[in-house]
Amino acid sequence: MTRSKWVIGVVALCVFWAIGTIAPGMAVGGAAHGGEEHKSPKVGILLVAFGSSETSAQVSFENIQRKVTAAFPAADVRWAYTSHVIRAKLADRGKALDSPTLALARLQDEGFTRVVVQSLHTIAGAEYQDLERTVNGFKAMEAFQKIVLGDPLMVTRADVAAVVTAITGIIPKERKQSDAVVLMGHGTCHPASAYYSALAFQLQLKDANIFLGTVEGFPDMALVQNQMQARHIQKAFLMPFMSVAGEHAKNDMAGDDSDSWKSLFSKAGIECVPVMKGTAEYDAFVGIWVGHIRSAMEGI
């Protein structure tokens, strides 16, 4: 063999060896990287409520926790409160609750890759919009591979229909058809307050003696009272249309002060029976939120 042929043979052998060793090495490296890409994502669900400092209201949150954990056992479920006032009150009692921003930062720091942020608000009002901005901020920072915000209780026409069904399903069994059922919502000056009017209309179509009013919006208590008097209602079951039976339910709806709904209706000659349970204590309502989480999960 000539020297030149020998050199060519050695070079070819080196090239063949390089391809044979480097390529598998690259494949191993690629497989390892691919393994990172395809391994099971770390999924979190952040439940975000306005919050409540009332101890008795915690039963609502506990019910939501149970239902969400049962529906999504592979996800880590966390909580955040949007109300700074509520968080401060709880902090004074030694109970720390995160804001949505801090809760999401914790999830990012702990290596969560996919997160559903589920609003537990009733409508897409100011609190929900603030939460939406927070989620969009984390999305813009690419803090997670995927982050999706779940709808509040009522957004679509189907949501409103589901809420009507849920309400008619929780009416106290002792209520007679001639008795009224009065739901107290929170209300807001936000345009999303129109959902309360839409819901009130749908309820009236279902049962003319079911009324919905709000503490801080329209329809208000005075309108509800006028409607009941026009129908000669003598007895009314008062129920909070809020996730928890908190301060509004205790004071504004069922309190003994002269300006509570119970006192004002009683003064008008209507016997009142308060029902102190928030919507989140009923599985029918929690099921709507769980459905929104399931839809959000499809996005991650």
**What would the mean pLDDT of 240-256 be, rounded to a whole number?**
94
pLDDT classification of 57: cutoffs 50, 70, 90: confident
Residue 35 has pLDDT above 70, yes or no: no
Per residue in 127-156, pLDDT (tens digit) is 999 999 999 999 999 999 999 999 999 999
Q: Looking at residue 15, what is its pLDDT?
A: 35
Per residue in 181-196, pLDDT (tens digit) is 999 999 999 999 999 9
Residue 38 has pLDDT above 80, yes or no: no
The reply to whether 171-276 shares the fold of 43-154+283-298 is yes
CA 198 centroid distance within chain: 20
**What would the mean pLDDT of 230-234 be, rounded to a whole number?**
98
**What would the mean pLDDT of 42-61 be, rounded to a whole number?**
92
90 phi, psi to nearest 5 deg: -70, -35
Mean pLDDT across the chain: 89
Choosing from 121, 186, 248, 292, the catalytic residue is 186
The Cβ-side half-sphere exposure at 61, using a 13 Å CA radius, reads 22
For the entire predicted model, the pTM comes to 0.85
Cα–Cα distance, 221 to 199 (Å, whole number): 16
- Domain boundaries 171-276, corresponding CATH code: 3.40.50.1400
Residue 204 has pLDDT above 50, yes or no: yes
Residue 87 has pLDDT above 80, yes or no: yes
**What would the mean pLDDT of 64-72 be, rounded to a whole number?**
98
65: CB partners within 8 A, 6+ apart: 47, 77, 79
Q: 186 an active-site residue? A: yes
pLDDT classification of 40: cutoffs 50, 70, 90: confident
Q: Looking at residue 7, what is its pLDDT?
A: 40
| CATH class entry, domain 43-154+283-298 | alpha beta
Cα–Cα distance, 249 to 182 (Å, whole number): 12
What share of the chain has pLDDT > 90, as a percent?
83
Domain coordinates of the chain in residue numbers?
Answer: 1-39, 43-154+283-298, 171-276
Pairing of strands 43-49, 114-119: parallel
